[in-house]
Amino acid sequence: MPSDGQLKPSRYNLLVDLASGRKLAFNGATAALAEIDEETIPRFLRLLKSPHRAENSTEVELVEQMKYARFLCPAEHDEVAELQSRDRQQRQSKSTFFLTIAPTLACNFRCDYCFQRSNGLVMDDRVVEALIAFSKERLPSSERFMITWFGGEPTLCMPTVEKLQGRLAEMSQQFGVKELTSTMITNGYLLNGTLARRLQDCGINEAQITLDGPKEVHDRRRMMSGGRGTFERILANIEESCRIIRIIVRINVDSENSSAPLEVVDILQQRGLLQHVNIYFAPVNPSQGVCADVSGRCLSTEAFAHLQVKLYEELVRRGVYRIEYPQVAPGGYCGAGNDHSFVVAPNGLLFKCWEELSIEPDDAIGDVFGGVRNQRQQRNLDRYRLFDPFSKLECRECAILPLCLGGCPKAATSESNDERGFCSPWKYNLGEMLTLRYKCNTHEEVRG
């Protein structure tokens, strides 16, 4: 057995070579990133292998820094067991209450890849009061409350949004919730400056809006229910609203529009908007309800990961220094794996995943009225609760496990792969994305 005080390199270390001759050292368990200069590299590598061989006070201090960032950990420490324990604890924790609310499934768009089944039902007062009561049971034990407005298109129901947001914010204050964050996922067609101020006034300070390419591409994919294009109106709305609330521009990518995202970036730059919004590239996924033609043009995770790098490289060349950074994922890849996370349909049904949202009881895990779940709903819930990446050999051995934790639980359980979950893009592009992030960080330091 190793003696007390012995250290070993973490299994989640990644070393990345830089063109300058320096290296980046990244640890997936802490998301720590360090730049190692050429002079220090031999010493760093030697101490990583044999930390007990520190020869002077400088090296002793370096070992301490490596321990703090978790590049080094106790020799007897089981990192997988620690991660598994932390994941289980976080999934069951009540400290953060995640609530995604769809006040309606109605939408003024007919996007060709949308996974949802549109329905004109709007959340009524009975559901609002039941949702308030449902939240009241959970907020006293919560330190953070994270609300996401979803749909359908939530801006079609602004009176409901404003009323419910106000009630939930008031109740959060009443129970001493330390942090309340509210965001909206919207197609942006109605989100002009006036509506942005209404969102701001009721406590919603962020909105995600989708643009899928320049006008000819976007209007073919994201049109009004009557077939009319939406690009110009959305772009004008972004221009009005981005100086009032935070705007994230999501660009959905598949094999059909893989070159279009950069055209969107150029248009935003030409309009003077690029420095006022955040850009987010996302793959179109073959979800339930998506037609076969759309499913066939979806990129594999690996193909998307490589394209993602190219797209962000172009952003950096255009002077946009905001690059996605890998985050440790305690509690799972998304809220679907968390016991304290719910998606609420306009009729009060509860779901774990956005992509399963509907008004069909058999798709749900229960409802806000506290009704007893039937066997089908219990099975739906158990599918998420029982998803365990640590039971899958490839996941347990994977160097990015802390960043992924088996990936999307819906996709992973749908594939029923006993060896691995649904891999994250980080599996295929982590080193390249870290290099890009380093370039952004050093640029900002020089500018500062």
Span 222-277, pLDDT tens digits: 988 888 899 999 999 999 999 999 999 999 999 988 889 999 999 999 999 998 99
- What's the mean pLDDT in 70-94? 95
Position 444 pLDDT exceeds 80: no
Do 281 and 349 form a contact (C-beta atoms < 8 A)?
no
Among candidates 399, 422, 250, which has minimal Cα distance to 332? 422
- What's the mean pLDDT in 308-335? 89
Domain annotation covers residue 72: yes
Q: Is 90 helix (H, G, I), strand (E, B) or coil?
A: helix
pTM of the predicted model as reported, rounded to 2 decimal places: 0.91
Please give the residue range of the domain that contains residue 44: 7-77
E strand segments, 58-143 = 72-74, 96-101
Quick one: angle between helices 41-49 and 57-68, nearest 10?
A: 70
Write down the H helix ranges in 259-399: 260-270, 292-296, 301-317, 375-385, 393-397
Query: Given this model, what pLDDT does residue 3 score?
Result: 39
Query: Given this model, what pLDDT does residue 1 score?
Result: 31
Query: Given this model, what pLDDT does residue 417 score?
Result: 86
Domain annotation covers residue 424: no
Among candidates 208, 299, 212, which has minimal Cα distance to 264? 212
Q: Count CA atoms closer than 13 A to 182's CA, side-chain side.
A: 20
Domain annotation covers residue 1: no
Domain annotation covers residue 385: no
Cis check for the bond before 152: say yes or no (omega within 30 of 0).
yes
Structure tokens, 300: 């594999």
What share of the chain has pLDDT > 70, as a percent?
Answer: 93
Domain annotation covers residue 49: yes
Among candidates 192, 208, 219, which has minimal Cα distance to 282? 208
Rounded to 5°, angle at Cα 60 from 57 and 65: 125
At 357-374, the pLDDT tens digits run 999 999 999 999 986 678
CA distance 332 to 87: 7
- What's the mean pLDDT in 386-402? 95
Domain annotation covers residue 153: no
Domain annotation covers residue 48: yes
Domain total of the chain: 1
Burial of 153 (0-12, 13-18, 19+ CB in 10 A): buried
Q: Is 120 helix (H, G, I), strand (E, B) or coil?
A: coil
Among the residue ranges 127-141, 323-337, 347-361, 384-398, the one predicted with the least confidence is 323-337
At 138-194, the pLDDT tens digits run 999 999 999 999 999 999 999 999 999 999 999 999 999 999 999 999 999 999 999
Return the higher-pLDDT residue of 381 and 416: 381
CA distance 138 to 392: 32
Domain annotation covers residue 173: no
CA distance 151 to 335: 17
Query: Given this model, what pLDDT does residue 447 score?
Result: 55
Residues in the chain: 448
240-270 per-residue burial string, b: 16 or more CB within 10 A, e: under 16: ebbebbebbbbbbbbebbbebbbbbbebbee
Q: For residue 182, what are the β-bridge partners?
A: 147
Query: Given this model, what pLDDT does residue 180 score?
Result: 98
